[in-house]
Amino acid sequence: MSVKPAPASPLFAGPFALATLSAPAGPAFPALVTPDARILDLRTALGDERLSIRALLETWESALPRLRTLAEEDGPAREPLEAFRVHAPVEPRQVFQSGANYRQHVIDLHVAHRAPDDDRPEEERRAEAAEIMDRRAAEDLPYVFIGLPSAVTGPYDDVVLPAWAEKPDWELELAAVIGRPAHQVCVEKALEYVAGYTIANDLTDRASVFRRDMPQIGTDWLRSKNAPGFTPLGPWIVPAESIARPDDLRVTLKLNGETMQDESTGDMIFDVARMVAYASRTARLLPGDLVLTGSPAGNGMHWGRLLRDGDVMDASITGLGTQRTRCVAEVAR
């Protein structure tokens, strides 16, 4: 079931964005969306019935000028967006996720989780945490791990909370969408490989992050982050050329109308370019892949309030639109 937010004007920054849509009982198709909530079926406009957003990203350098032209010209009649279902904008082959990447968030965690015998003043512990963050930044060591494409769902779809998930939490994040194969790229050129940006909510079951049976193994990201629907994505991909300052965007999540996260991407320890470059040191990033850049302060663990049946999350990032997802408890089997 989909729960769409009230229309906003404009829907996003720039002259157009990309979406994956479907008509009732029809197949999903790639679309160009304009800020006035009109859409153009790109299969027809570009003469390819098998076209998808990922296929478009695989030819991004040649496709982008054609998309600019389509956005500017009158051309074929455009239909109202409200007549279509909005899916996740792209089906990635790989999802690169980041942890501990917002300075204030990590400092807050460091202070909150002090050792029982640590009676130093809070200011001293905050200064210590800030020094640790500065050292991480200087040594160029982001924390990146792998997510599953099967966890991706649409921006207005219900999120099923698994019966086994004891502490499901939200993590709103800026996601970079790759537009060119990238391997061992330098920081200075990394943004040339980013086709655009979208919104991701990287849900996590806090109770299963750490292995209780074998604590020496450490984190269990498979179980804690990759249930079906645990990565609501979209609603659109906004081209990178329309987002002048990816390091100056507001990340805001509201739970049942109450603001929980509200932070600038300027608080990131490692910006988008450094995250993309770092991931490419090991992996070969492919068109359509996602690089999630971490979540700011204000998660459910901070508030002592985790997700439960009936909750509605409204998530927005400057220039990228808004997603709305409702939580539904899974019926225990």
Residue 246 DSSP code: T
What pLDDT does 192 receive? 98
CA distances from 328 to 61, 96, 176, 236 (A): 41, 26, 28, 24
* Residue predicted with more confidence, 28 or 114: 28
pLDDT in tens, 181-230: 999 999 999 999 999 999 999 999 998 888 878 877 888 888 899 999 99
Neighbours of 207 (CB within 10 A): 16
Q: Does residue 67 sit in helix, strand or coil?
A: helix
Give yes or no for a contact between 32 and 70, defined as CB atoms under 8 angstroms apart.
yes
> Which of the four pLDDT bands, split at 50, 70 and 90, describes residue 159?
very high
- Give pTM, 2 decimals: 0.92
Which of 16, 64, 15, 70 minimizes the C-alpha distance to 42?
A: 70
At 331 the pLDDT is 83
Q: Which of 14-28, 118-132, 177-191, 315-329 has the lowest mean pLDDT?
A: 118-132
Residue 74, pLDDT above cutoff 80: no
Q: Using an 8 Å Cβ cutoff, are 107 and 131 in contact? A: no
pLDDT at residue 25, as a whole number? 86
> Minimal CA–CA distance to 28: which of 43, 45, 48, 12?
43
Query: CB within 8 A of 189, min separation 6: which ones?
Result: none
Would you tell me which CATH number, out of the four given (3.40.50.1980, 3.90.850.10, 3.40.1350.10, 3.30.450.40), belongs to the domain 95-329?
A: 3.90.850.10
Do 163 and 329 contact (CB within 8 A), yes or no? Answer: yes
C-beta of residue 30 within 8 angstroms of C-beta of residue 56: yes
What band does 133 get if pLDDT is binned at 50, 70 and 90? confident
Asked if 288 contacts 56 with a C-beta cutoff of 8 angstroms, the reply is no
Q: What is the pLDDT of residue 7?
A: 57
What residue segments make up the domains of the chain, in order of their start?
A: 17-86, 95-329
pLDDT at 197: 98
Query: How high does pLDDT run on average in the chain?
Result: 92
**Pick from 1-5, 159-163, 164-168, 242-246: least confident:** 1-5
Residue 227 pLDDT: 96
- The reported pLDDT for the residue numbered 209 is 87
Mean pLDDT in residue range 69-85: 88
170-187 mean pLDDT: 98
Give the residue among 95, 96, 185, 100 at the shortest CA–CA distance from 137.
100
pLDDT tens digit sequence for 52-69: 999 999 999 999 999 999
